[in-house]
Structure formats: C-alpha cells, structure tokens
Structure 1
Amino acid sequence: MAMNIFHRLLCRSSMWERTTATRIVPWALSGLDLGAEALEIGPGYGANVSALLDRTTTLTGIEIDQALAARLRARHGGAMTVIDGDGTDMPLPPEEFDSVVCFTMLHHVPTAWQQDALFAEALRVLRPGGVFAGSDGLDGRLFRLMHLGDTCVPVPPETAAYRLRRIGFTDVEVDTGTSSFRFRARRPD
C-alpha cells in the first residue's frame, strides 16, 4: 500500500480525525449495533478509534503497515489490540468478532481480487449474524488527484453489493453519498 506525502499528512491530522468521528463513521454505521467485539481492517493512523470505542466494548485493529501498527500501539495500545497483518489473509480464528468495519481504505487494496479476498476474510472472522460495514471514497478527478502516486483501486459502488453477496454475505445494502459510499452486510446465521 503506497500513500503520497499529502495523503499521509491528511490521514494523521486532527482535522481528519474530527471528520471521521463526526461524519464518516456516524454515516457509515447509522442504525447498526457493532456488538461487544469489533475488528477494524486497516485502521491506519487511528482516526476512527475513538468513534469506534464509543460503539463497542472491545476493539481490535489489523494493520498491514508495520510502522502504522507500531504508531497505533503507542497511541491506542491501552484501548485496543493491534495486530500486524494483511486484511486479505488475517491471522485470526474464524467467528471471532461481532462486527468487522473498514473506512476509506478499500481503494488502497491493490486489486479487485484482493478486495474480494478481504471481503471473504471479513466473512470468515465474523460470528453468525455479525455485521460487516464501512465506507470508501467515490472515484473522480479530485479523488484521483489526491491519490497521485498512491495505490488507488476504487471500488465501484454499483458492483459492491453483487461482490459481497457472491462472497456469501446477506442483507447487503450499499448507499452512495456525495463523495463516498457506505456498505453493510451480514454473515448468515
């Protein structure tokens, strides 16, 4: 996963943390109960940690970037468990979590095949009836400009529901906003 310097500065800023806490996470998770044990795939700089801890008892994050994982441990290690790992091949047992979430990171997964592998891993680690939810940005000129030099493979929202159902999720919903889309799906009981 590559991120340009502008993107790195934005993602670790207090402004971005406020944006995720007041707009992104509330919109993406509106009306959802995360249950007691939640997993965030790709927490990055940790912008969502506080907002997620308001919604769950136990938070685990799996982060592919070792430097970001170490930063998360230093900043939030008392509040969450941080695992070094890849969301497409998680070193976690099956049916471990009530919910799995990811925010504004799917477009950093290098291929559609790997995105689908991430979806399959989310399904695998969810308990029956558990929810997979999150959001990602919509493709466009400004989005692409912000991601110059980054790994950037946007998920088309018009194919997201089909892809999640094909993996095995049910109750799939995808909603499009002005600059992002949200998704939610359940592991069958």
Structure 2
Amino acid sequence: MNLLHRKLCSSGKWADYVAEELPRRLEGFELGDNVLELGPGFGATTSVLAELAPKLTSLEIDDASVAHLRAKFGDRVTVVHGDGARMPFEDNTFSAVVCFTMLHHVPTTALQDAIFAEAHRVLRPGGIIRATDSQLSFWFRLLHIGDTMNVLDVSTLPDRLARAGFAEVEIEHVPKQIVTFSAVKSG
C-alpha cells in the first residue's frame, strides 16, 4: 500500500465506517463457529468480526500488520502470518471464509483464483465465502497510484468461483463502487 492508502485504512474514520457498514454486508449470512478472515490489514474488519464470531482466525501476509494485529487483539483473535494462495490450514476447518476490500491488492487474477481455491479447500462442506471489494473509479484509481490494484472483473467472477468448486454463487454489483459476493462449498 502507498502512504495515502495506509493512512486512510489505519484511520479512525475508516474504522467507524467499517463498524457501521460491515454488519449490513453480513446480514442474512450465518458465519458459524469458526471464521477465517483473509487480509485483515490494520484490523478494522477484524474488530467487527471478533464480536460476531465465536472463533476468529485472521490470515495476513504483511509482517508489520501481523505484529500490529497480534498486539491489538491478543488472544481474542488467532492471527496467522501466511499467504491466502497457500493457506497453512487443514482441509474442512472453517465454517466461513470472509475477506473485505483486499482482493484488489492481489497482483494477478491467477493468485486471486488460488485464494478462491484455497478458501474452498479450508471450508467445511456447507461453509460460505462472503467478500466485498471495491470497483474501478477515478477516485479509487487515484488512491492506488504506485500501489497494487487488480480490480475483480464481475463478469468472470461466477465462473472463477465455480472453477474453485463453489456453488450457489450470488453477486451484488454497484458499478464504480463495490462488488459483494457469496458462495457455498457443496457437500
């Protein structure tokens, strides 16, 4: 992340927005007893999820963010340093996998697809993936100058999730703003 992006995502204003918005994005979804969060960054989403999930594990690739999250959440959240494209978890472990506003930081579509496949692998049968991510706009592009920005292509997302093994794919899309999606691991 570039400096401007880091300042925004670590701000109290962003944390307040997430605290208000995230519960709405999760309405109607049963996360179950053991939730995996991918790419928590500064932990704004983690703060909300820690109140909703009986057991929460957060997987973060950035060393500094891992240290920050461990200090912030202590034993309330299990923070694991690792890569979402090669998750260090057993098959069929989690009741839900969630990720919020992080997939555009994954540099290639192939790595995003590897994350989808790994999410499917670590989910229990009947488990869900629930995610949101920003869509391309002028302001979003400005925020990412000198930063990784690989926006999800909504038109290919259903097929990509199906190739990872998911069923019951649902997508909500507001062009130039946000895409929200969910899918279920059959079985």
Same fold (TM over 0.5): yes
1:121 equivalenced with 2:118 (yes/no): yes
Tell me how far 1:30 sits from its aligned partner: 2.0
CA distance in 1, matches of 2:24, 2:179: 10
Q: Percent identity?
A: 46
Q: Is the 8 A contact 1:60 1:82 kept in 2?
A: yes
Q: Could you report, residue by residue, the CA deviation over 1:8-65 in whole angstroms, capped at 9, with x for unpaired residues?
A: 0111111111111211x22332210100100000001001122112321000000000
- Between the aligned partners of 1:6 and 1:140, the Cα distance in structure 2 is 17
Aligned equivalent of 1:176, options 139, 151, 173: 173
TM-score normalised by length of structure 1: 0.95
Q: Distance in 1 between matches of 2:139 and 2:156?
A: 21
2:7 alignment partner, one of 9, 28, 44 = 9
Count of residues in correspondence between the two structures: 186
Question: How far, CA to CA, are the matches of 2:180 and 2:62 in structure 1?
Answer: 24
Letter in 2 for 1:43: P
SS in 1 for 2:156: helix
User: In the alignment, which residue of structure 2 is the partner of 1:20?
Assistant: 18
CA distance in 2, matches of 1:177, 1:21: 20
Q: Is the 8 A contact 1:109 1:151 kept in 2?
A: yes
Distance 2:72 2:169 in 1: 34
* Structure 1 vs Structure 2 CA RMSD: 1.0
1:167 maps to what in 2? 164
Aligned to 1:139, what secondary structure does the other structure show? coil
Q: 1:27 to 1:180 in 2, by over 3 A?
A: farther
Aligned equivalent of 1:157: 154
Q: Find the residue that maps to 2:44 and give its secondary structure.
A: coil
Note if contact 1:28-1:183 (Cα within 8 Å) is conserved in structure 2: no
Task: Work out the CA distance in 2 between the residues paired with 1:153 and 1:10.
Answer: 19
**Structure 1 stretches lacking a partner, 5+ long:** none
Whole-angstrom distance in 2 between the partners of 1:38 and 1:100: 6
Are the equivalent residues in 2 in contact too, given 1:39–1:59 (CA < 8 A)? yes
Paired with 1:77 and 1:43, the residues of 2 have a C-alpha distance of 15
> How far apart in 1 are the matches of 2:12 and 2:155?
32
Moved over 3 A (4+): none
Displacement of 1:177: 2.8
Q: Aligned residue for 1:108? A: 105
Matches within 5 A, 1:64-83: 64-83=61-80
